Amino acid sequence: MAVGKRYPTESRTFTDERTGVSIRQVTSAPAIHHHPFFLIPAYDDEMRWLVFTSERTGRPQIFVEERATGELIQLTERDDIADFSIYPSHDGRWVYFTASSGGWRVHTETCAAEQLIDLGQVTMQDAGMVAAAMGTTALSACDRWWAIRFRDGEESCIAVVDTISGQWEVILRRDSVAHMQFCPDDSNLLLYAGPLTDRVWVVNRDGSNNRRLYQRKPGEWITHEAWIPGTRELGVVDWPKGVRSFHVDTGRERLVTSFNAWHAICSPDGSLMVADTNFPDTGLQIFNPLDGIGEAHTLCYPQASNIGAHWNGPFPYENGPIQVYAPQHTHPHPSFSPDNRFVVYTSDRTGFAQVYEATVPESLLEAVQP
C-alpha cells in the first residue's frame, strides 16, 4: 500500500515571460494532476497543506504538499475516488471526498480514512464532464457540515452530514443539483446550481426555504456561481459578458466586472477576485469585486489548453443537456490562498496537467485596491 508514502519535492520556480510574475510548479510527474475545483479551497487555513489529486499511481488519489518541506504525501490508495469531490477542512485535519456510493474523509497526518455516510444503491455523479457530472461537495466554514449530492432514481438529492455526530439527512430532492457552496458568512445557508437553464438557487441547511435567486432570461448563459465573502452576495458569471452579483436577502443586483471572466472566485476575505479567461484566453486576471468596475489586471498566462469548444458560441443548452468534451484538468480553475499571497491553478502546458502556484505581486495588489 502506498498510503502515507512521501515523495521528494517536485517544486521548481520560473518567471512568467510576459508579466514577470514568479510561478512555482508544484508537481511534475508524467500524469494528470489538479487542485480542487475553483469553488473549493486548495489549502487549509494555516496553509500547512496544499491539496491536489494525482494519477501518478494509475488512478486519481488524494495528495498533499507539505509546504514546510515541499514533500508530497499520498493520503489514499483506492480505485473509486471522485477526484473533483475533494474538500480540505479549514483546520487542516481532514480531506473530505466521495467514493463509490459513500462519503469519506482522510486524516492529513495519519492517513487514516473513515466513512461518514453510506448511501447504498445510488449514483454519485451524472454522466458527462460538467456540472452534476463533477460530483463536487461543500464544507461549511466552521467544518461542521458537509454537503454531498447524489442521484436516487430520477431525483437529484443533497445530503448534509454532521461531521461531529455523524448524523445525516437528505435535505433536498429535485430534478438537478450541482456545485453546492455553503455561504462563508452563514453555515445555515447553501447555494446550489439547478438545471443548466435555471441555475441560481439557495436553500437553508435544514432543507427549508428552497428558492430561486435569479430567473435566467432567454439566451443568457448563467454559470459558475460563487459567494462574495462578507457581503451575502453571489457572484454569477454571465458568459462571456462578465460577472454580476445578487444579494441573497434583497435580490439587489450589481455589476462586478465586464470582461470575459470564465471561472471567477473571491479571496477568502472578499477583497479580491481572480478568474481565468477563454475565447480569447488573456491569462489569469485579478480584479476588485466590490468597486462596481472590476478592472482586470493580468497576473500570469497559464497556457492551459482550455478544452471545451462549446464555450465559443451562444448558450448551447437551451433545448436541454448536450454532450460536450471538456476535460476539467485542462482548465486553470484559479483560486486564492488564505493569505491572498498566492493563486493556485492547473495547466497542461507541458503535456500533462500539473499544479502551479503564482505569487501575487504587491504592485498588482496596489493596482487592484488603490
Q: How confident is the model at residue 50 (pLDDT cuts 50, 70, 90)?
A: very high
Q: Which domain holds residue 64?
A: 1-12+21-117
pLDDT at 141: 98
Q: What does the pLDDT average to over 37-62?
A: 98
pLDDT at 370: 76
Integer Cα distance of 178 and 94 in angstroms: 23
pLDDT at 231: 98
Q: Work out how many domains the chain is built from and give that number.
A: 1
Q: What does the pLDDT average to over 306-332?
A: 95
Q: How confident is the model at residue 240 (pLDDT cuts 50, 70, 90)?
A: very high
What is this structure's pTM? 0.97
pLDDT at 344: 99
Q: What does the pLDDT average to over 161-181?
A: 97
Integer Cα distance of 158 and 150 in angstroms: 7
Q: How confident is the model at residue 232 (pLDDT cuts 50, 70, 90)?
A: very high
**Better-scored residue on pLDDT, 121 or 4:** 4
Q: What are phi and psi of 131, to 5 degrees?
A: 50, -120
Percent of the chain whose pLDDT exceeds 70: 100
DSSP string, 102-142: EEEEEETTT--EEEEEE--S-BSS-SSSSGGGT---EE-TT
The pLDDT of residue 267 is above 90: yes
pLDDT at 127: 80
pLDDT at 133: 81
- Residue 357 covered by a domain: no
The pLDDT of residue 18 is above 70: yes
- Residue 60 covered by a domain: yes
What value does the mean pLDDT of the chain take?
A: 96
- Residue 77 covered by a domain: yes
Burial of 313 (C-beta count, 10 Å sphere; 0-12/13-18/19+): exposed
The pLDDT of residue 343 is above 80: yes
Q: What does the pLDDT average to over 47-64?
A: 98
- Residue 48 covered by a domain: yes
User: Before 268, cis peptide (omega within 30)?
Assistant: no
Q: How confident is the model at residue 308 (pLDDT cuts 50, 70, 90)?
A: very high
The two counts, helices (H) then strands (E), for the chain are: 1, 30
Q: What does the pLDDT average to over 301-308?
A: 98
- Residue 308 covered by a domain: no
pLDDT digits (tens, 9 = 90+) for 256-266: 999 999 999 99
- Residue 363 covered by a domain: no
Tell me the torsion sign for CA atoms 132, 340, 69, 95: negative
pLDDT at 245: 98
- Residue 270 covered by a domain: no
The pLDDT of residue 1 is above 70: no
User: Other C-beta atoms within 10 Å of 28: how many?
Assistant: 16
The pLDDT of residue 323 is above 70: yes
- Residue 170 covered by a domain: no
CB 15 within 8 A of CB 21: yes
Q: Residue 38 sits in a domain of what CATH number?
A: 2.120.10.30
Integer Cα distance of 114 and 304 in angstroms: 35
Paired strand residues for 188 = none
